[in-house]
Structure 1
Amino acid sequence: MSFVYPSFLWGLLALAIPIIIHLFNFRRTKKIYFSNNQFLKNVKETTTSKLKVKHLLILLARLAFIAFLVLTFAQPYLPGENDDEAGSGENPLVYLYLDNSLSMSSELANGVRGIDQGVSFVDEIATYYPRNTQYKLLTNGFGSFSRVPKSGEELTDLVTNVSLTGVARGLDEVLQKIQGDVQLTGMQGNEIQRADVYLISDFQKSTIGEIQGSKLGEDTTLQVNLVPVQSSYQHNVFVDSMYLANPFMMAGQANELAVALRNEGGEAVENLIVRLLINEQQVGSGSVDINAYATNTVNFPLNFPLQQQNQCRVVFEDYPVTFDNEFFFTLNLGDKINVLEITSNLAATRVNSATNVARVYANESVFNFQSFSIDNLDYSLLDNTNLLILNEIEGGNQNASVLLPYIREFLEDEGHMVFILPSSGDVSFLSEVTQNTSLAAQRQTYTDSTGVRTVTLANPDLANPFFDNMFEGQADNFDMPFAVPLVNHNLPGSSLLRYKTGDPYLLSLRTPFTSGDQIFVFSTPLRQEFTSLYRHAIFVPVMYRLASMSKSLDVPLYYPMDENTITLEASRLLDSASREATGPRYLYKLRRDEQELIPTQRAVNGRLLMEVPQNILEAGFYELVRTEEAANAADSAVGLLSLSFNNTESESLVEPYTVDELQQQIEGIEGVSLYEADDVEGFTALMQSKNDQVALWKYALLLALASLLAEILLIRFL
């Protein structure tokens, strides 16, 4: 037997009061004078014996009345079979975790949404604890309300306001949050001896994580109860990924969007209609078949005019899991690509050495092209350069040595560089740039009896991602240009273009500063006496691809909801006047309809870093706006970019732990139990069998009244 208010048991000390009265009040004697007391002797002996019995019975009745009255206020009860100590103490504490991730929106076999059934479970739990029980409700947002204990009535009101969120939590995250709260409560002087924990979730394998080996059962002060809310549906189709054929969107240039869809189910999906909407206008649709547990791709050509910023959606129908049937992304046309060419000091005497490169990037609507001699170069230009072209730069001179640290810093900042080999075959400067002292090249004699020995370049390998969507069709034979085999070299890297002899002509090298290929090397000068490549049709798309790779999309097509930080180039967010150091300070916000969020933000090395407010964001489009930090600058908001956010992929992997799997996972873990119920009625029956407590205070009150009545009857009739 346990007590709701055990402190009232101190009232049992009041039992000493009638005992003291009995011991001292009835010992007092009173003398009565009679002329002859011989006739009273027998009467006296009989009355004294009778009075002793009466007084003892009255004492017992009074003691019973006080004892049962005290027990009534202490509210005794018999705990359920689940745990004799569950909910004990002056202020019993119960933790309730309600999984409100998007997967809980799935319809259950009884036609009820998972989140709604979870809310009903919470209400049922609150009815099986004493009225003084304190509850702490946790949802995936880990909101501030979880820090403050609630009464049963407050809990009922609070849980009705729980809504779905794109944030998912793992089992360890939830347990760590609860354990941290228990420790904090203990540090505040309210040490918790025992607390019940109810985890109400669909227990998705992709989000809940491994149960064996988790924190489950680590804290012996917690009695953990797993309450699965399981849908009968275990298949789903969702967008796995999407990408552009050319990651840099340029105005007027055709592109292609590839959307990869994944079938997370045991049955194949046929003729799934996928629609593409741009700025709320349907611009394309496609049909796709997806095998069981497989991925397939549907492609949408982007060969029509686009706005500078375009809000796009991919939409399809997949029942019954519908929360991920819409995928948001943004197509932002890129700014101009900054191309800087540095030529040798002999460029003026070499016909077409610079102009062949300059002609490629003459389109001012796409490129900002500048060309300087190495003897007349402003090194600060490298700060805003995307593609750096070193045209026949040789090592060993003073200007090259001065330029070297600037180029290394440029590459460390993920810049891209094209190195055009000089006619001397000197690779010493390239060796210094890459810090690879083993690079070597030996000049070959390229003249023969006919005057010049040339070799035709081989057809490009169209399977190489570098040539994706560069050519229409899949032609096997190209009329390829020629090039002189100028040098024998040991440059490491992968060949993008080769001689027909198999020797590399255009190579991509990986630098020691980053993990990607950032340096591209032409094995001859781009001049008439060494190659005809600069006159060939393949030259322009190759150089365009090199430029577009140097400026990949700085704003991704979309951000997942679990992204911690987003990074944006500050140069894209400010105009030239706003970049001045003496200008006003700016604050960046995310705006959607009437909702406005101010993320934690900081500027680092010319980039804006913003922490994603995961607990507040919803899937969809948000406008990034800039305002001045001044208090009176509320009307100075400037729209900058459209950003899109999508729910995490893990939420779409709807396969849960089955009840049998959960039982197997928790087997042998102390302090953990499983509630298996398909509906609220079944859960109610489980709560009654495991946690139903028999309240005894009513019986104690009746016994107290009976004792009082017995005392009255004893005094009146005995």
Structure 2
Amino acid sequence: MHFQHPELLYALLFLIIPLIVHLFRLRRFQREDFTNVKFLKKVIQETRKSSRLKKFLILITRLLLITCLVLAFAQPFIPASDKALTKTKTLIYLDNSFSMQAENDQSDLLSSSINQLLESIDETKEYGLITNDSEYFGRTTSELKKQLQDIEFADNQLNFQSLQLKADKYFNKTDNQEKNILIISDFQNSIGALSELDSEVYNIDLVKTLTEETSNISIDSAFIKESNPENLNLAILLSKKGELKQPVTISIFNGDELLGRNTIQEFSENKAQANFRLQNETLSNGRIEIDDSGLSYDNKLFFNINKDESIKTVIISDADFGFLERIYAEPEFELANFSSDQIDFNRLNSANLVVLNEVEQISSSLQNNLANLSKDGTSILIIPSENALNYDQFLNTLGFPQFNKKIETNRLITEIVYDHPLFQGVFENRTKNFEYPKVNTSFNITSSSSILKYQDGKPFLIGNNSRYLFTSALNSNNSNFQNSPLIVPVLYQIGLNALKKNDLYYIADVENSIDIPLKLGKDEVLHLKKPDFDVIPQQQNFSNRVEINTDNIDLQAGNYEVTNASSTIGTVSFNFDRRESKLNYLDVSGSENINIYDSVQDYFSESNAATQITALWKWFVIFALIFLAIEMLLIKFLR
């Protein structure tokens, strides 16, 4: 038994008072003479025995009365366990990722967990709450309940490592308190490993939300499989988890206009593909939908097809450039070519890509112009002449190393740096043995940004920040590189990277860099808009384009208009990542020092039982009243 106010037990010393009164009670008796002494002596003996018994019983009842009163004011209680004697602080992590849209008992897992929390959290205890996109610290229980009712699904999920950091932050100034972490989640594999949580510092409890059946069909991605001037083939990939209960209907819309509908009867290895032939025209408000009773967020995919802008390419050449004309051809490229002494600088300044092909001597005005274009984001490709003159200063201006010396022996081009960003998504296989092209004369440079290398490891092509440099002339007399299968992907990729074409859609919760082919006026900015939403993204204005960046913008899935103050420029689409659709769950059973519960109610029921306190003060008040009544009865009726 424990006492809430043990210091009041010192009042038990007052028990000595009735003892003193009883033992040292001074009472004088008056002596009377009677004739019948024998009879009088008997009466006196009987009266003294009765008086002693009465006084002794009254003393006991008074002692018990005082004892009960003192104990009642000390407020005794019996704890259910040691936890009841310790002050606790609890951090609740509520997983509100999209996978919690799965239904259980005709309600999604998130709503069910929220309702159980609203019913179970104790008004007398201190709680902190974190979700995947918010944290609520220093709230009263009533405020926390209001916040719980406003929680919505988020497009990201914390892992255990991030959760540990947030817990350290929450319990930073907590001393002499029991620290509890309650994790409510379906525990998909993406949440990480339980070993990342410190179960020695914190008491960790898990509530694993369960579904009756794990089943979901999602739209994974969409891409243009092939196209011609009249039509395009849009391919849509779907994935399945669980059993296919009925055929899946897939529809394509442009706004409210239905463009096509198809039905998928079966999946192969949980994958399926649907193809739609559409007119090759601008589609600004595209939407793909399926009917599925699983997760709802992945039943739609937003996309747009904008008119492709030709990449403005300028070739400045004093040698044959026919191979460049064949690669940078219409409709992807809009080509203009000039000799080094007859340049249209208006066309040059509006170019997305400038190719300097075997110009022996670069004038200072051209050097300055190209340097300014490079600073403005224009891609520069340099193919040096065999007799390159005054290149050192120009190369330094563009951030390239100088040519060390001229090598006049044959060299094979044997190595492709597949990990270079220029080759991202270009090669399916990393071939090591291919028909090696060669050069007769070349220049040596030292660089860490090689794209292609000679057999001695020296660079043949280097590239960085939209600037590219060959170390050899590419004319047919000096090299057979024009006949190599490498020339097309290398030069074509350099051209495509000069103006990034917008994708059908972007992922909403990652950083995206999007090029808008537009020349903005002074003080003009671009907006991303949709109904009830308007944001100015981070953007950089170049001479012939605007690069917008979506980092640190909370974007929802949907189609957004790109606008300036006067007009709509185009459309970009965003979708949530489909990682939550996999429904692959972590096995949390058998974890040491961690308790696992089937529901939030089970956790709070056991937690409250462990912290339950049985108060006894009322019983001692009742006993005190009983002893008071006994004392009064003894005084009145016992003689």
Aligned residue in 2 for 1:103: 99
Aligned residue in 1 for 2:169: 180
After TM superposition, give the deviation of residue 517 of structure 1 in Å.
8.4
2:140 aligned with 1:150: yes
Query: Residue 550 of structure 1 aligns to a residue in which SS?
Result: coil
Aligned residue in 1 for 2:596: 674
After TM superposition, give the deviation of residue 338 of structure 1 in Å.
3.0
Cα distance between partner residues in 2 of 1:305 and 1:238: 27
Cα distance between partner residues in 2 of 1:384 and 1:13: 93
Cα distance between partner residues in 2 of 1:267 and 1:119: 29
Counterparts of residues 326-365 of structure 1 (less than 5 Å): 326-335=300-309, 337-344=311-318
List alignment gaps of at least 5 residues for structure 2. 34-39, 411-423, 429-436, 444-449, 454-458
Aligned residue in 2 for 1:168: 157
1:114 to 95, 109, 113: 109
Cα distance between partner residues in 1 of 2:518 and 2:12: 83
2:403 aligned with 1:403: no
1:263 to 219, 231, 239: 239
Aligned residue in 2 for 1:558: 505
2:196 aligned with 1:214: yes
Contact 2:289 2:300 in 1 (8 A): yes
Aligned residue in 1 for 2:464: 513
After TM superposition, give the deviation of residue 314 of structure 1 in Å.
2.3
Cα distance between partner residues in 2 of 1:341 and 1:50: 125
Aligned residue in 1 for 2:129: 137
After TM superposition, give the deviation of residue 269 of structure 1 in Å.
10
Contact 2:313 2:351 in 1 (8 A): yes
After TM superposition, give the deviation of residue 228 of structure 1 in Å.
0.8
Aligned residue in 1 for 2:258: 282
Cα distance between partner residues in 2 of 1:335 and 1:272: 36
After TM superposition, give the deviation of residue 203 of structure 1 in Å.
0.9
Equivalent position amino acid for 2:340 in 1: I
Equivalent position amino acid for 1:138 in 2: I
Q: Normalising to structure 1: TM-score of the pair?
A: 0.65
Cα 1:428–1:135 change in 2 (3 A) is same
Aligned residue in 1 for 2:421: none
Equivalent position amino acid for 1:714 in 2: E
Cα 1:613–1:257 change in 2 (3 A) is farther
Cα distance between partner residues in 1 of 2:296 and 2:442: 56
- Deviations along 1:663-700, one digit per CA (max 9) or x if unpaired, are 13x1xx32x111136xx8xx54x765675258554654
Cα distance between partner residues in 1 of 2:223 and 2:321: 35
Cα 1:466–1:58 change in 2 (3 A) is closer
Cα distance between partner residues in 2 of 1:162 and 1:142: 9
Aligned residue in 1 for 2:80: 78
Aligned residue in 2 for 1:455: none
Cα 1:270–1:30 change in 2 (3 A) is closer
2:577 aligned with 1:648: yes
1:417 to 381, 384, 401: 381
Cα 1:41–1:165 change in 2 (3 A) is same
Equivalent position amino acid for 2:67 in 1: L
Cα distance between partner residues in 1 of 2:520 and 2:365: 34
Cα 1:199–1:300 change in 2 (3 A) is same
After TM superposition, give the deviation of residue 313 of structure 1 in Å.
1.9
Query: Residue 341 of structure 1 aligns to a residue in which SS?
Result: strand
Cα distance between partner residues in 2 of 1:551 and 1:117: 49
Cα distance between partner residues in 2 of 1:428 and 1:278: 57
Contact 2:234 2:278 in 1 (8 A): no
After TM superposition, give the deviation of residue 181 of structure 1 in Å.
0.3
Contact 1:200 1:227 in 2 (8 A): yes
Cα distance between partner residues in 1 of 2:119 and 2:488: 71
Query: Residue 134 of structure 2 aligns to a residue in which SS?
Result: coil
Cα 1:662–1:138 change in 2 (3 A) is same
- Deviations along 1:77-125, one digit per CA (max 9) or x if unpaired, are 414xxxx42x6545x33322221211111123x4332223322442454
After TM superposition, give the deviation of residue 227 of structure 1 in Å.
1.0
Cα distance between partner residues in 2 of 1:268 and 1:522: 60
After TM superposition, give the deviation of residue 192 of structure 1 in Å.
5.2
- Deviations along 1:26-70, one digit per CA (max 9) or x if unpaired, are 677566573559979855686456424422431222221331343
Contact 2:132 2:158 in 1 (8 A): yes
Cα 1:575–1:198 change in 2 (3 A) is same
Query: Residue 159 of structure 1 aligns to a residue in which SS?
Result: helix
Query: Residue 333 of structure 1 aligns to a residue in which SS?
Result: coil
Cα distance between partner residues in 2 of 1:408 and 1:490: 28
Cα 1:653–1:360 change in 2 (3 A) is closer
Cα distance between partner residues in 1 of 2:260 and 2:403: 49
Equivalent position amino acid for 1:104 in 2: M
Contact 1:104 1:113 in 2 (8 A): yes
After TM superposition, give the deviation of residue 360 of structure 1 in Å.
10
Aligned length in residues: 580
2:637 aligned with 1:663: no
Cα 1:266–1:35 change in 2 (3 A) is closer
Query: Residue 628 of structure 2 aligns to a residue in which SS?
Result: helix
